[in-house]
Amino acid sequence: MQRSAAGNGALDGERRGRWRAEPDELLAMRTALRSWLAGFGLDTEAEHGLVVAVNEAATNSVEHAYGSPVASSVDGRTFEVKLHAEPDWLCLEITDRGLWQEPAAVAEGRGLGIPLMHQLVSSVTIDKNDRGTRVVLRHNRADGK
């Protein structure tokens, strides 16, 4: 359920969408993100890496920000993705209004999303406060055009 998009095209404006924090919304988010990225001439590997990194951040919002999955269908429990371009960078911001959950010390096969994001993009910044969590992913456009 994409609720909004801004900009006249991927090359000249910010793109944004908001989805319910539910697992079945992730496919729609990835589809929208791929369409936003199409205008930047990225190679397949760079585009795929960005989509996977954003999906990991959004999955964290879906799974952790609002508590139990049943509670996530309540209004206001959403995540938002924004994309904007700078001369040398693509910047993607994933935000929610939930509560930050510290990763477990023993993840038992989980907890790999944040390290994976660091491997896939040039920089990862995570800001958390009482209003929610914001993950900023920056891709150097010289890396994989």
Q: Is residue 76 part of a domain?
A: yes
For tokens 């904007």, the residue is: 84
Q: Give per-residue pLDDT as tens, 30-47.
A: 999 999 999 898 999 999
**Does 98 fall in a domain?**
yes
Q: Which pLDDT score is estimated for 68?
A: 58
Residue 95 structural domain: 15-140
Edge-to-edge, what's the strand order for the sheet holding 132-140? 15-20, 78-85, 89-96, 132-140, 123-129
- Please return the burial class of 13, using the count of CB atoms within 10 Å of its CB with bins 0-12, 13-18 and 19+: middle
pTM of the model: 0.84
pLDDT score of 128 more than 80: yes
Q: Is residue 4 part of a domain?
A: no
> What integer is the mean pLDDT of 57-78?
74
**Which CATH number covers residue 35?**
3.30.565.10
pLDDT band at 140 (very low <50, low <70, confident <90, very high): very high
Q: What percent of the chain has pLDDT over 70?
A: 78
Average pLDDT of the residues in 99-127: 80
Would residue 1 count as lying in a domain?
no
Higher pLDDT, 73 or 68: 68
- The total domain count for the chain is 1
Confidence band, pLDDT 50/70/90 cuts, at residue 79: very high
Domain assignment present for 10:
no
In a domain, 6, yes or no: no
For position 3, what pLDDT does the model report? 47
Q: Please state the separation of Cα 133 from the chain's center in Å.
A: 11
Q: What was the pLDDT predicted at 143?
A: 75
Give a yes or no: residue 26 inside a domain.
Answer: yes
Structural domain contains residue 145: no
User: Average pLDDT in the 82-107 region?
Assistant: 85
pLDDT at 5 over 60: no
> What was the pLDDT predicted at 1?
52
